[in-house]
């Protein structure tokens, strides 16, 4: 048995005959904030549902706090859920929404009062305790849903894309709220998102999923700087990924990512990786060994983004706005160097 706080062991999850998550192993430490990140349909919600006890695994085991809960029903697992639709009780006040679970648990009334007030205060809603959910903004409803889960002091809090209904500014605010709450309460949290920047900002560790598998698991910095595969790099914003077509005499020949075409780009140095990848910011424009034609230019505040067409396809570059400006149709030199490349496997 693992000594992790939450341990998923050889978990296979299926809907009828269709397997959504095959043979998943994942250990989560106590007090950790893990994010499950990955494209639509990769199995994030399915994994959460299994942890919550809302679906029975086809095989494998789930341990929480040292106990095998695989056959334990959802309401006995002490797990908090905050999903995208907050499922607040519309006819109850904010106060009563938070008190609801405590009343079911038959907590003494003076304790309920104290815990609900503390819960509302924690998320900054103490002034709005008498409002109904419909009289709250999206972000306030979101915080109410959080408070409602937190007062139950769950062993694990599962959050499935809880911020996706909020506008960009509120999302950022709620992100830092969540981080603060997590530090204060030290509750183990699993946070699902398909937003790369949200995962990077929040997580102690990121589980990047693809087709029900773990594609890569690591800290935000590990995933951001050192993705291992083409899939992970693509997901983490390495927009320039090229196949290493050949390598000889101290030169490395790149081809388009999905092609073996004879058009190649040579760069100095050698690499045994199957692919090399660069973030747009790692491509310098204006000088370098390579040449291409500017196909588009986009102003992005601090930077300017170029798409340059060359022998192996399109290269995306991001350069500081202060640099010399190139126009669509200009032929420019650019640099892709081995020293700034991330080597990848398929």
Ligand X SMILES: Nc1ncnc2c1ncn2[C@@H]1O[C@H](COP(=O)(O)OP(=O)(O)OP(=O)(O)O)[C@@H](O)[C@H]1O
Based on the shown chain and the rule CB under 6 A, indicate whether residue 20 belongs to the binding site for ligand X.
yes
Stretch that binds ligand X, among 14-22, 61-69, 246-254, 319-327 (CB under 6 A): 14-22
Residues contacting 35, CB < 8 A, separation 6+: 190, 191, 192, 193, 198, 199, 202, 203, 205, 206, 207
- Through-space distance between the first and last CA atoms of the chain, rounded to whole angstroms: 33
Within 10 A of 163 (CB to CB), how many other CB atoms are there?
A: 25
Binder of ligand X out of 7, 45, 196, 318 (CB under 6 A): 45
Helices (runs of H) and strands (runs of E) counted in the chain: 8, 19
Identify residues 181-220 at the interface with ligand X (CB under 6 A).
Answer: 194
Would you list the DSSP string of 139-194? Answer: HHHHHHHHHHHHTT--SEEEEESTTTTS-HHHHHHHHHHHHHHHHHH--EEEEEES
Q: Which is nearer to Mg ion, 43 or 280 (CB)?
A: 43
Based on the shown chain and the rule CB under 6 A, indicate whether residue 15 belongs to the binding site for ligand X.
yes
CA angle 170, 222, 275 (to 5 degrees): 115
Identify residues 246-285 at the interface with ligand X (CB under 6 A).
Answer: none
- Which residue has 């695989």 as its token pair? 70
CA distance 314 to 333: 14
Q: Which residues pair with 307 in a beta bridge?
A: 296, 316
Q: Which is nearer to Mg ion, 45 or 141 (CB)?
A: 45
Based on the shown chain and the rule CB under 6 A, indicate whether residue 326 belongs to the binding site for ligand X.
no
Q: Which is nearer to ligand X, 45 or 141 (CB)?
A: 45
- Give the number of residues in contact with Mg ion, rule: CB under 5 A: 1
The three-state secondary structure class of 40 is coil
Residue 50 beta carbon to ligand X: minimum distance, rounded to whole angstroms? 10
Per-residue x/- mask for Mg ion, residues 19 to 48, rule CB under 5 A?
Answer: --------------------------x---
Binder of ligand X out of 9, 46, 142, 318 (CB under 6 A): 46
Stretch that binds ligand X, among 12-20, 136-144, 284-292, 307-315 (CB under 6 A): 12-20
Q: Which is nearer to ligand X, 34 or 294 (CB)?
A: 34
Nearest to 244 by CA among 209, 274, 210: 274
Q: Catalog residues that contact ligand X under the rule CB under 6 A.
A: 15, 18, 20, 38, 40-46, 194
Q: Catalog residues that contact Mg ion under the rule CB under 5 A.
A: 45
């Amino acid at each position: 048995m693992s000594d992790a706080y939450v341990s998923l062991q050889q978990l296979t999850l299926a809907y009828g005959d269709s397997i959504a998550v095959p043979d998943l192993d994942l250990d989560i430490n106590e007090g950790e904030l893990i994010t499950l990140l990955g494209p639509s349909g990769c199995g994030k919600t399915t994994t959460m549902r299994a942890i919550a006890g809302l679906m029975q695994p086809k095989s494998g085991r789930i341990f929480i706090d040292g106990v095998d809960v695989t056959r334990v029903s959802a309401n006995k697992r002490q797990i908090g859920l905050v999903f995208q639709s907050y499922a607040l009780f519309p006819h109850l006040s904010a106060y009563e929404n938070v008190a609801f679970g405590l009343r079911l648990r038959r907590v003494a009334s003076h304790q309920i009062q104290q815990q609900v007030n503390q819960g509302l205060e924690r998320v900054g809603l103490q002034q709005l305790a008498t409002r109904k959910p419909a009289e709250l903004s999206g972000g306030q409803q979101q915080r109410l849903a959080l408070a409602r889960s937190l007062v139950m002091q769950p062993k694990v809090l599962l959050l499935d894309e809880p911020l996706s209904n909020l506008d960009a500014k509120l999302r950022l605010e709620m992100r830092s709220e969540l981080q603060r709450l997590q530090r204060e309460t030290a509750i183990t949290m699993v946070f699902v998102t398909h937003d790369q920047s949200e995962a990077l900002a929040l997580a102690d560790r990121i589980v990047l999923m693809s087709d029900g598998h773990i594609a890569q698991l690591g800290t935000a910095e590990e995933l951001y700087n050192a993705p291992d595969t083409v899939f992970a790099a693509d997901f983490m914003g390495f927009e320039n990924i090229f196949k290493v077509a050949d390598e000889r005499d101290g030169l490395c020949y790149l081809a388009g990512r999905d092609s073996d075409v004879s058009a190649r780009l040579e760069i100095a140095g050698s690499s045994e990786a199957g692919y090399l990848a660069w973030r747009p910011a790692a491509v310098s424009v204006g000088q370098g060994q390579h040449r291409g034609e500017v196909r588009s230019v986009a102003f992005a505040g601090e930077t300017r983004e170029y798409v340059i067409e060359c022998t192996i396809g399109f290269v995306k570059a991001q350069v500081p706005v202060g640099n010399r400006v190139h126009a669509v149709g200009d032929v420019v030199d650019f640099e892709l160097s081995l020293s700034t490349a991330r080597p990848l496997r398929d």
